[in-house]
Structure 1
Amino acid sequence: MTTLPWYSPERADALQRALAERILVIDGAMGTMIQQHGLEERDYRGARFADGYDNQHPDGRTAHDQRGNNDLLSLTRPDLITGIHAEYLAAGADLVETNTFNSTSIALADYGLQHLTRELNDAGARLARKACDEATARDPSRPRFVIGVLGPTNRTASLSPDVNRPGFRAISFDELCQAYRESTEGLIDGGADILMVETVFDTLNAKAALFAIEEAFDAHGARLPVMVSGTITDASGRTLSGQTAEAFWYSVRHAAPMAIGLNCALGARDLRQHVDVLAQIADTHVSAHPNAGLPNAFGGYDESPEDMAGVLREFAESGLLNLVGGCCGTTPAHIAAIADAMRDMTPRGLPHMEVAA
């Protein structure tokens, strides 16, 4: 018997049916939407953290600046985060990602909030769960799903941050595993339907996350689907730790993910050749959620919803996609355009399905 508190066999079956029937749409950027609200330090802190301490944890000093700590808003501005989820769902998203990109003890250390790791993951998943359940209740024929996000952390197990000490590592594999395990448990507690290790620039970090996920599944005696999404960092066609899309797939294939994909760093046009590689070799679903083009001189993104949707429609016409969405710079308008572009598209067939036919 499963010990996953929110697990629903009906939702799990519905997810598999949806993947077989159509290209599923993932939501767009959380950070881009938060930035539009022009929040100040007091908005991030809320009443709970207003006096420099976490008033629910007497030993939790929060003297660090919190502005920009978007994950904290799941506790201090849950209305804002739930509202963003609702906007993406209304735009046509089938899956929404939790507001937990930086919710590992490693990344939260920059804000002095390591003690909130499990709580932030739990809260982030619950907010997404609530938004998805409300959208599903309005249209039971189209269930919506929560992707529990595990971000890359700000420390890498493969590369030295010190050019004068190439053998130095700021984090160990075991430390990463411990951090990811705590985050994973929070996402499970909060009601995630899927776990996604995303924006992977160091495959060893991703392996630590996948190891931690497996430990959690073993402890619960049950599993959730897992997605893995890497990041091709530049025109070299490789991740930061030096892997091509093909090498990345073979490095994580052992985890039997529900989907392998790519996100961030590049716009859809530049990402296409790498998604094509995955579509040719992966024996699982393929996802893509690129940026809205490349950043401009001011750090913004200029690709319009229509242009981005047009490029991604060609991906679908070429049989490359099972799941698609947006990363940095994308908004509900982008997701609405992408959802419309995918409406009559057939999902990429899995190799074993093609053989069976």
Structure 2
Amino acid sequence: MASLPNPPADTQTRADALREALATRVVVADGAMGTMLQAQDPTMEDFQQLEGCNEVLNVTRPDIVRSVHEAYFSVGVDCVETNTFGTNYAALAEYDIAERNFELSEAGARIAREVADEFTANTGQQRWVLGSMGPGTKLPTLGHITYGQIRDAYQINAEGLITGGADALLVETTQDLLQTKSSIIGARRAMEALGVTVPLICSVTVETTGTMLLGSEIGAALTALEPLGIDMIGLNCATGPAEMSEHLRYLARNARIPLS
């Protein structure tokens, strides 16, 4: 394997500061990414004829992606997520561009890093970048993809994010605990390969049925994921605050790590 580019020199310092902030106060992150991008009406040329592949915009239209980060930082958020929800093997393979995993991950993180640094310098408020690692479209528990294949691809995803300047990794919108584990292990391997340790946040998706897509309850998710050494656990997507409340209550009472 070719040697990896080095992450930015101050990555570890920023990551440690974020970890301290997460332990001592409420840290506010951004909101939707996809709808903000679509609102700017990117063309098929912008998508390189890969309609709906928002991550390609990291390369073709960084100005659009940058404007979304600027909008969130302008209203005072501490963190933004990278435009990399789909830079994973399963999602990119549907567009026949799985080999662009590292490229698009690194580009998405680099754009967010540049904007974060500008706002930090201009306002004196430290701003951070969360590297978004989405679930993809193939679930290993259902045999869509092997655990080893998806784990190794998530490592590449995470290596690109850290190299581009992400201060933390956010494994998000997970629906299958085996897929979640593959993301976390891949992220850990990326940190080891790059010689840095950044916060690792995990956010599961609980459906209106009261369980994750494949039937796992929130207690099972906590039991499976907390021992993997994640820094924070939470919920996102699928429902709203009312439906999430009982699951958040369970996490608040039982988790030994902070909540998102």
How does the TM-score come out when normalised to structure 1? 0.69
1:182 aligns with 2:156: yes
CA distance, structure 2, for counterparts of residue 133 and residue 226 of structure 1? 21
Equivalences for residues 1-357 of structure 1 within 5 A: 5-6=7-8, 7-45=10-48, 65-140=49-124, 142-159=125-142, 169-234=143-208, 236-287=209-260
| 1:224-247 CA distance string (max 9 Å, x none) | 11000000122x210012111121
CA–CA separation in structure 2 for the residues paired with 1:9 and 1:110: 34
Are the counterparts in 2 of residues 4 and 222 from structure 1 also a CA contact under 8 Å?
no
Report how far residue 116 of structure 1 moved: 1.2
Gaps of 5+ in 2: none
AA matched with 2:246: Q
Counterpart of 1:25 in 2: which secondary structure? coil
SS for the counterpart of 1:153 is coil
Superimposed CA distance per residue, residues 303-348 of structure 1 (whole angstroms, 9 cap, x where no aligned partner): xxxxxxxxxxxxxxxxxxxxxxxxxxxxxxxxxxxxxxxxxxxxxx
CA shift digits 1:210-236 (9 cap, x unpaired): 1112222222333111000000122x2
Paired with 1:218 and 1:19, the residues of 2 have a C-alpha distance of 22
CA distance in 2, matches of 1:71, 1:9: 26
Runs of 5+ in structure 1 lacking a partner? 46-64, 160-168, 288-357
Higher RCO structure (Cα 8 Å, ≥6 apart): 1
Q: Which moved more, 1:196-205 or 1:217-226?
A: 217-226
Q: Which residue of 2 aligns with 1:50?
A: none
Output the amino acid matched with 1:198: E
Q: 1:243 to 1:132 in 2, by over 3 A?
A: same
| Structure 2 counterpart of 1:253, one-letter code | E
In 1, Cα distance between the equivalents of 2:195 and 2:45? Answer: 42
What secondary structure sits across from 2:87 in the alignment?
coil
- Indicate how the Cα distance of structure 1 residues 68 and 197 shifts in structure 2: closer, same or farther if over 3 A, else same: same
Cα offset for 1:196?
A: 1.0
Between 1:74-83 and 1:20-29, the stretch displaced more is 20-29
Runs ≥4 residues deviating over 3 A = 7-10
* Conserved 8 A contact 2:16-2:198: no
Residue type of the alignment partner of 2:171: V
Q: How many residues align?
A: 255
| Deviation (angstroms), 1:89 | 0.7
- AA aligned to 1:23 is V
What CA deviation, in whole Å up to 9, does each residue of 1:267-305 have, x standing for no partner?
Answer: 112111111111111111100xxxxxxxxxxxxxxxxxx
The offset of 1:136, in angstroms, is 0.5
Taking structure 2 as the reference length, the TM-score comes to: 0.93
Question: Does the CA-based 8 Å contact 1:85-1:128 persist in structure 2?
Answer: yes
Which structure has the bigger radius of gyration?
A: 1
User: How much has 1:181 moved relative to structure 2?
Assistant: 1.1
Tell whether the 8 Å contact from 2:159 to 2:191 is kept in structure 1 after alignment: no
Cα distance change, pair 103–79 in 1 and its aligned pair in 2 (3 A)? same
> What percent of counterpart residues are identical?
39
